[in-house]
Structure 1
């Protein structure tokens, strides 16, 4: 029964992902004046789903290796080392977050 619930949840999540990707593809195809087939959207959804699965496994393994049960920003930064552009964007974002937290008044 738990397996059925997990499978149903996966299907709902994949449907939500398909819907979101479909909206993005529709917006972009209108801008570019091109068409995208439902098969393209389905294939893109499957590719994104597989990437999400791989990223989640990597993040879980990084946290487990550090003997933690919670994924941290350090795990995300470790994962982003494979993509230099993403790593830079994330570092800038984290730096802004740290500055914002330090400017908050203490209670």
Structure 2
């Protein structure tokens, strides 16, 4: 029994380690983007504000990922697709329309031969377009 508990503890520590690495990388990318945009617009942003923006963006992204996973589960799927992403933006009409437009542009760029090869029904076709697998951490 104790061996099982230790194994669970090790898994938890590994999960926390992965989350910390992702958070750090995300923060660095966010800080880089904020600094680049500030320079491009001739602005200065204080370090505490940049750190706050990075933390806020990470927390928002964490919640978005959880929402997407729930949308996919509710639809009976194990993978998130573009419809889930568009649904996540339902409170922001402008963002939802931009996402729909982006999705339509991607579908238009998809080679015709690949679209013709699929013999699935339209409903299945929509559900499997641009699928992103969400692994369990």
Is the contact made by 1:18 and 1:41 (CA closer than 8 Å) also made in structure 2? no
Q: Which residue among 60, 66, 80 is the counterpart of 1:71? A: 80
Alignment correspondent of 1:84? 93
Work out which structure has the larger RCO, using CA pairs closer than 8 Å and 6 or more positions apart in sequence.
2
CA deviation digits over 1:47-86, x for unaligned, max 9? Answer: 1111011111111111111111111111111112111111
Normalised to the residue count of structure 2, the TM-score between the two structures is: 0.69
Gaps of 5+ in 2: 1-9, 118-137
* Matched residue count: 107
| Equivalences for residues 1-107 of structure 1 within 5 A | 1-104=10-113
Normalised to the residue count of structure 1, the TM-score between the two structures is: 0.86
Is the contact made by 1:14 and 1:49 (CA closer than 8 Å) also made in structure 2? yes
Q: Which runs of 4+ in 1 moved over 6 A?
A: none
Is the contact made by 2:68 and 2:84 (CA closer than 8 Å) also made in structure 1? yes
The offset of 1:44, in angstroms, is: 0.8
Q: Which structure has greater helix proportion?
A: 1
